[in-house]
Amino acid sequence: MIRHIKFASIHNFRDVGGYAADDGRSVRWQRLYRADSLGWLAGPDLATFHALKVKTVIDLRHPHEVERNGRVPHTEGLRYHNLPVEGRPWDFSVFDPGLGVPRFLADRYLEVTEDGVPLLREAVETIAEAGNAPVVVHCAVGKDRTGVLTALVLSLAGVAPDDIVADYALTGLATERFIVDWKARHPGALMGPCFGLAPAHAMELFLADMAARHGSLTDYCSDVLKVPAETVARLRAHLLTESISAG
């Protein structure tokens, strides 16, 4: 199956399928996608997007980002949810070059888990209730807010931490193209030291910090997000193959 879906105007659209779950099943292909901003979809890219038969889009950007850069084009039957899970702007004054990009990013991801509780819960519930139709989760670059939510969802699906880290780090394959386009679209705009970067160690640190704070990502989902077991069961039914041999 194809993990990276090619578009002309976006660069980090990929399928989250294929990862093994802890019960012998695996994440279905063509069921959950993660992406950078779908506001850039136009022309031939729209035909590519429509061919994926996506029925639900979860946009994790702030409303002002949506207003400035656009949202996924309105399409009949497409359910759009704007869930800005990031509660505070990034403070680059606390960036410590000695600790590097991974530590800075992991700390920002922890902030999302603190500030975005009700919207993260809604996002998980939305994916669980999507039935058999594909879902896309996205933000601006498709790595930070999208990375946190994808990590939570994959953990609930029973995917191992190493695969969650590997999936996160795949953003690195799109970083160069994304930066070129971003500079062209935002001439003169400043970019922070972490812009476009998704080092694997950032997700490793985040997972370790969440384990220290909550026991695991799944414990965080049950104890903090208050996601009930019934919702987790529906999410797994939506995302996982029906049997070991069905993958």
- What are 27-52's pLDDT values in tens digits? 999 999 999 999 999 999 999 999 99
Query: Which one, of 100, 122, 125, lies nearest residue 202 by Cα?
Result: 100
CA atoms within 13 A on the CB side of 129: 11
- Which pairs with CB-CB distance under 8 Å and at least 24 residues apart come from 163-167? 163/19, 163/20, 164/203, 164/207, 165/200, 165/203, 165/204, 165/207, 166/200, 167/16, 167/19
Residues near 2 by Cβ (< 8 Å), separated by ≥ 6? 15
Question: Which uninterrupted H or E stretch holds 82?
Answer: strand 79-82
Which pLDDT score is estimated for 246? 42
- Judged against a pLDDT cut of 90, whether residue 232 lies above it is answered with yes
Angle formed at CA 125 by CA 122 and CA 130, multiple of 5 degrees: 125
Model pTM? 0.95
Can you tell me the distance from the alpha carbon of 237 to that of 131, in angstroms, rounded to the nearest whole number?
9
Section 155-180 average pLDDT: 96
- Judged against a pLDDT cut of 70, whether residue 247 lies above it is answered with no
Please give the single-letter amino acid code of residue 58. Answer: I
Summarised one tens digit per residue, pLDDT across range 178-230 is: 899 888 888 888 888 899 999 999 999 999 999 999 999 999 999 999 999 99
Which pLDDT score is estimated for 244? 62
Can you tell me the distance from the alpha carbon of 70 to that of 52, in angstroms, rounded to the nearest whole number?
20
Instruction: Show me where the domains of the chain are located.
Output: 14-235
Can you tell me the distance from the alpha carbon of 222 to that of 199, in angstroms, rounded to the nearest whole number?
28
Q: Using CA of residue 68, residue 127, residue 247, residue 208, what is the dihedral sign?
A: positive
Section 62-66 average pLDDT: 96
Which fold, 14-235? Protein-Tyrosine Phosphatase; Chain A (3.90.190)
String of DSSP letters for 16-61: -TTPBPTTS-BBPTTSEEEES-GGG--THHHHHHHHTT--EEEE-S
Which pLDDT score is estimated for 233? 97
CB of 215 within 8 A of CB of 117?
A: no
Summarised one tens digit per residue, pLDDT across range 91-150 is: 999 999 999 999 999 999 999 999 999 999 999 999 999 988 999 999 999 999 999 999
Q: Which token pair is 117?
A: 């509780």
Tell me which residue has tokens 């994808």.
150
